[in-house]
């Protein structure tokens, strides 16, 4: 039997700026996700739901969605969290509606990484 280690996706943001105690700080945030080893009808349905939910939520208030992207790009975590909550782009809401934001990450990572295979 051949052992197959899980494929792990890493998502990293670099150069996040903040000030604390008179010091300027640049930080990195990195998360690792072990990708599922199986995809079937249930997983496909969750991926599809996630894509539709995100599209609907961003389209419901484009001006607020743009403010969210700006808050994420010019790191203002408190504002980004508040706007994401207003838009309903939080894991709990996605799960309650039959999805989960992590499945969006899985789909994007696999599609983007497919060039490397």
pLDDT (0 to 100) of residue 46: 83
pLDDT (0 to 100) of residue 86: 95
H or E element at residue 51: helix 41-60
Q: Where are the domains of the chain?
A: 36-116
Q: What whole-number distance in Å separates Cα of residue 73 and Cα of residue 50?
A: 22
Q: What whole-number distance in Å separates Cα of residue 43 and Cα of residue 107?
A: 11
SS3 for 7?
coil
Q: What whole-number distance in Å separates Cα of residue 97 and Cα of residue 117?
A: 33
Which DSSP state fits 5?
A: P
pLDDT (0 to 100) of residue 78: 85
pLDDT (0 to 100) of residue 83: 95
pLDDT (0 to 100) of residue 111: 80
**Predicted TM-score of the model (pTM):** 0.70
pLDDT (0 to 100) of residue 18: 78
Q: Which residues of the chain have pLDDT under 50?
A: 1, 3
């Amino acid at each position: 039997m051949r052992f197959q280690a899980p494929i792990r996706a890493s998502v990293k943001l670099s150069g996040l700026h903040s000030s604390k105690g008179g010091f300027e700080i640049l930080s990195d945030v990195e998360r690792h996700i072990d990708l599922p080893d199986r995809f079937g009808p249930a997983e496909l349905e969750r991926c599809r739901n996630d894509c539709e939910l995100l599209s609907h939520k961003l389209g419901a208030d484009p001006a607020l969605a743009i403010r969210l992207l700006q808050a994420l790009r010019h790191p203002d975590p408190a504002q980004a969290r508040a706007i994401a909550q207003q838009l309903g782009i939080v894991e709990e809401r996605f799960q309650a509606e039959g999805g989960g934001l992590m499945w969006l990450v899985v789909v994007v990572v696999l599609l983007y990484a497919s060039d490397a295979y």
